[in-house]
Structure 1
């Protein structure tokens, strides 16, 4: 297929590095400069995106798929408030001092919350063979059936703690599946110019679910009698977003990229044409199919007969890919240890420390907190991420988050948590404001950008394996946080906030030195950001001078992957007539 000539000479010129003599690489303090160079290449070699591909169908597919995120978000929103309901405490023996001491209550709360994250850890790991064999669509359907079963198990546990926590484990297992499959699907089918927005839908719908969970608990506490149905209702509401996704998934097209991976080209073309809303002979569709096909064929050439274990081994052995994995895991670490998951689940306890004593008051304050997160996530997802990019929100958010946490910890350490019945003073409201600012800063960057980046930065050969490792790491970190937080609030008390703030203060220099900008680039071009040989102008190795490989698939001095990548690129590059 003939390469389309670019009409963007001015755009290309605008993206040229300011100092062309300086060879930029992705691991310098000027990591963003590599983006300008690759963006210039992308504009010169690509066909411009037609307006028609940003259509209603594209957004509708993203909304349907992200109902899985709403189901997960609802759990983080409703469960902390449900734990605070007197009817739930009575049903499951969580009253102090009738049933438990404060220390015992903290441990039992931690167990009931963290079993969900433990299930997610195993679900994220076990989804890999299923997703690769059966595709993204059927993985979503399978996991939703499990999630619906978990909602029924929790709702009708009838006071049995083992049945209830088993239901939470099942729900977490399903969410572990969805937490990887949905972002991968969104990244694979999205047009490059709005990929950040559509992948960001995942976090927007998490906030939608969280917000619904917060306010449903508040409405139940203020309007319903304290009985079994009072706590069963918010638990059963989990069923509705999962059921919506289960039905909607049957009408969602399979990922064209995955269909090409399993040699279903005709169906891939049909699905891509349907998603983009343009005819098969449109130049942009031909360009996109060519680029995706090149990437898939290159991956096939790279993979050969290698199984997932071999690919995982290569991922840790090859230096450049290992660095990408470590950077992805670092982003997840900073995102999780911002403490936001702990605040979501235990927000009633935190607001009680600030003087909002009683289930009704703490749930109202929690609802406001969720509303702030939802509004800020919506603004960031629609108006910021694909304009400003990834790096600046992460750097600014790190500084803002750490300052809010330091202030909150300092205030509570200075005046101490409020005793029951103590009047609130002006400082309490300032501290609450800092907590709301913390939510806003988190949503303007760290809420969605790390997930967007880990769905973008890994090469085709390693994308699914790498994201599996990163998501398992995320659930392990989240499990640690929600397991430790109630015990920390009971023992370390207010100094807990200093720990989170100190960790997050280190995130800004990490992003500045190591994370490149990926805004506006296709997945195939993002790989060039991390290819130091291309960034330094090194020549390619063709098929005629490939090395003799040893039994491990590696040359003594150079990974075989580099040779195969170059060979595949030369073999698959379109030739001008």
Structure 2
């Protein structure tokens, strides 16, 4: 009987994970599908997009995502993780239809902005839900499945774009078919969320302890459910008595330093130019010399390497220090960018150039997704003590999305005005600045507790300092961060 119960509980948890991570799949598909839709969408017979128009269509989603990330956490705290994901699935569906049926650039931008709000909300709500329904000893592996679903969604978008481009490339409205496919997982997510429970952590925070215990019993043994409920109640009680930080606390040097380092980590992840490849990979390959259909097919390689490298990155996180892993990744991406710039100028117009550019973008993504992106989200979850986590994560994720927005907006303008070579030289220069920042400013966080990290920030390595906050910091393991390669 116990074995049967254990199997049923494991099966139920698996169902919960599979359904909720459809939010990550939508995140990935909606950020990746524009890669193949833009060439057709830009045609004079369609939306007639200029280089700036392409940037605005792509980047409007990212601006919406910045807003969605800021308010998504607050709404899920108010209404519940499950309920918020259901609302997001509805927004995903109708915003997708708006993009699909858009008759003009202006309506497309508005619909993409609304779609971005759903993407940003999912980027913070889904990982929180996964972390709160997962057993403690499986939490890391379960939460990182959302990252795998994100890059898998991007890969699915690249593959579908290539298939539709190959078989329907002569049909002027093919881009609408590329976009509307995202409505299917949105429907599945909405229906599926009726079959999964609310987060037990959220239920306890709303004094619904019996409901929380009922949820835990569906996914844990009786003893494990009772023990975890006690742990949740203790944590919630301590958090209620903990004064949260505000922007006024930034006047305290050590708090300001942590927040600025967090912002720096977020900016470093984006100024590599990763999302110029994830959003405009097809345009990059076309500029290098591929025809549109060949570029769509070649771009699949970028999606495949992103998925494979994410597996490698997850494996490396427990074995390599954060700083050396991040520096190695940045050296690899910067060298790849320099080579793209150099080869584009030296081999311009040759038949071999598009294949060289494709191989270098694949190399770039191997370093980015295998080292930089996993470390980014992990370090953001580690450097903030509990009382700073709300303001710290909110501020850093906002900056991450805004830099992502600027890259998405300006890249096609730079590509059209300066060419492939000069554009990638700019990103290479930014990569050198990122390496310098990591070497000079970034602390190592591996194998350190939150108390040790907080003490290091307070002391600046010079011995004890006067307490900057009144309450004793609460001891906790780093929370699972919303690991959304913003791709």
Task: Provide the TM-score with structure 2 as the length reference.
Answer: 0.85
1:58 Cα deviation after fit: 4.0
1:219 Cα deviation after fit: 1.0
Identify if the C-alpha distance between structure 1 residues 249 and 467 changes in structure 2 by more than 3 Å, giving closer, same or farther: farther
| Post-superposition CA distance 1:170-198 (Å, at most 9, x none) | 10111111111122233344445443333
Alignment partners' CA distance in 2, 1:115 and 1:526: 39
Residue 423 of structure 2: aligned partner: 496
Of 336, 342, 347, 2:270 maps to: 336
Contact 2:212 2:229 in 1 (8 A): no
Q: Which has the larger radius of gyration?
A: 1
Alignment partners' CA distance in 2, 1:491 and 1:396: 32
Contact 2:73 2:125 in 1 (8 A): no
Alignment partners' CA distance in 2, 1:503 and 1:442: 14
1:129 Cα deviation after fit: 3.3
Identify if the C-alpha distance between structure 1 residues 187 and 324 changes in structure 2 by more than 3 Å, giving closer, same or farther: farther
Q: Does 1:109 pair with 2:54?
A: yes
1:337 Cα deviation after fit: 1.1
Alignment partners' CA distance in 1, 2:342 and 2:235: 52
Instruction: Return 5+ residue gaps in structure 1 as ranges.
Output: 1-50, 95-104, 520-524, 537-556, 570-577
Q: Does 1:213 pair with 2:140?
A: no
Contact 1:194 1:386 in 2 (8 A): no
RMSD: 3.1
Residue 200 of structure 2: aligned partner: 256
Summarize the alignment of residues 221-260 of structure 1 with structure 2, pairs less than 5 Å apart: 221-224=165-168, 226-227=170-171, 229-260=173-204
Alignment partners' CA distance in 1, 2:260 and 2:203: 29
Contact 2:9 2:218 in 1 (8 A): no
Structure having the higher helix fraction is: 2
Alignment partners' CA distance in 2, 1:319 and 1:518: 23
1:302 Cα deviation after fit: 1.6
Name the SS for the 2:170 alignment partner. Answer: coil
The number of residue pairs the alignment matches comes to 463
Task: Provide the TM-score with structure 1 as the length reference.
Answer: 0.73
Contact 2:40 2:172 in 1 (8 A): no
Alignment partners' CA distance in 1, 2:438 and 2:456: 22
1:227 Cα deviation after fit: 3.1
Contact 2:165 2:293 in 1 (8 A): yes
| Post-superposition CA distance 1:449-481 (Å, at most 9, x none) | 322333454334343333222222121111100
Alignment partners' CA distance in 2, 1:232 and 1:477: 28
Identify if the C-alpha distance between structure 1 residues 499 and 160 changes in structure 2 by more than 3 Å, giving closer, same or farther: closer
Residue 411 of structure 2: aligned partner: 485
Contact 1:109 1:486 in 2 (8 A): yes
Summarize the alignment of residues 272-421 of structure 1 with structure 2, pairs less than 5 Å apart: 272-275=216-219, 277-279=220-222, 281-282=223-224, 288-303=228-243, 311-356=245-290, 358-381=291-314, 383-388=315-320, 390-416=322-348, 418=349
Name the SS for the 1:254 alignment partner. Answer: coil
Residue 481 of structure 2: aligned partner: none
Alignment partners' CA distance in 2, 1:108 and 1:233: 20
Contact 1:82 1:231 in 2 (8 A): yes
Of 54, 65, 70, 1:125 maps to: 70
1:165 Cα deviation after fit: 1.8
1:288 Cα deviation after fit: 4.4
Instruction: Return 5+ residue gaps in structure 2 as ranges.
Output: 1-5, 460-465, 477-487
Contact 1:183 1:451 in 2 (8 A): no
Alignment partners' CA distance in 1, 2:236 and 2:8: 22
Contact 1:376 1:443 in 2 (8 A): yes
